[in-house]
Structure 1
Amino acid sequence: MKVGELARVTGLTVRTLHHWEERGLVVPSARTASGHRVYDDGDVRSVYQVVALRELGLPLEAIGGLLSSGSFADVLTAHLDQVDARLAALHALRGTLAAVVDRLRDAPDPDPSDVLMMIDEVSRVNDTFAQYFTPEQVAELRARRAEGETAAAAWPGLIADVQAEMDAGTDPAEPRVQALAARWSELLATFHRGDESLQRQLYRLRDENPDEVTAAGGPDQAMIDYIARAGVTG
């Protein structure tokens, strides 16, 4: 079947299937004379394997290694350790909530310190960054956010401006797109500050969670490709 049909029957997007092909996870076995991708039964099984492993919460990098090496035990053991860590964080959160509920039975409002504790617990449980960055990097990123040093507020407007140029069919070499690309590069530099390890993990987070990044208001792969043609990598 062609990529559009495969997307429909699996509930995936065409962009996701293209991304998996770029990562070498599911490469179509053939192409038509006009260059359209054609997936055979084995390719479809591979798609469902990736879907199943993603449902377990494995990142694409781990899935790629697992499919190529077949070392299920090592990969799944490492993933089990991650799940255990998250369960421990959830258990700690439950303990905090239970204690606050007990105190609320005698008082109308929680103590501010209890609220701060809950916020910290929820952050540690739900923070996707914790899966990709070291505790030191997470602490640094949170410090920047608290100090107002990140440029997070500037991204939505920049992404909207780039999307408008894409919709208009503007050549990436045009000066106004070049200016947007320069701003894009500045914001990235503000985020990672030249830290190559942080930069690599940022790109890994984006590459392994394209749908989540887009749903959160981030750029999709088409936009990243467009801005790259304007001279920005990453």
Structure 2
Amino acid sequence: MADDLIKSGALASRTGVSIRTLHHYDKIGLLTPHRSPSGHRLYDRRQVVRLQQIVSLRQIGLSLDEIRKALNRSEHNARRIIELHIARLKQRIEVQQDLCRRLEVIAARPELASIEEIIKTIEVMTMFEKYYTKEQLETLRKRAAELGEDHIHEVAAEWPKLIAEVRGELQRGTDPKDPRMQALAKRWNELVHEFTGGDPGITESLNNFYRGEPQFAAQQSLDGQIFDYVRKALRES
């Protein structure tokens, strides 16, 4: 039996799930490993399968509380969770493949592309524009020119790290008033301001965009719980 058990360090190294995250899952009762006589966490095949389920459900946007409830329901077996993850991935792939097909058609014979084909291609490419007025888009273009490409890339690179830190505090149950979360919420607000320039109309359009395009939000590991958590922290500031 011992040969089939994996220590938390080895599991973290092989899966990319940090030791800190594994310990947190253990602490909240989401993934409870065996214990060696010396107190080390040890994972068997059943627990590794459960970890895969947790990772899959996280990637389709569920919170840890939602994952716990899902895993406790009999209909959410291993096969069903994998099917849910596959379905979400296929949705994302289909959008990209559709755009590729449309662009390939136009690129091959641009002079023969019908108006309808071109319109459909623009529709796929301009999902963003469904949520912003022409005036707002023009304001955003001007702001992008003012900020410069290098700065925009720096901000874009910072977002994934910030989102991961906020999610970590949420998972640990950190009070929104806590100084750590207050600092993260302040930086979140600053990065949003970098995009909106403080324009309330653009801010509202941005919120509508994320509400209306959950697939896009999920790709960035964003969900309603994250947004609510940040809002609570900002209200406490």
Q: TM-score range by the shorter chain?
A: 0.3 to 0.5
Which structure carries more relative contact order (alpha carbon 8 Å, separation 6+)? 2
In the superposition, the TM-score normalised over structure 1's length comes to 0.43
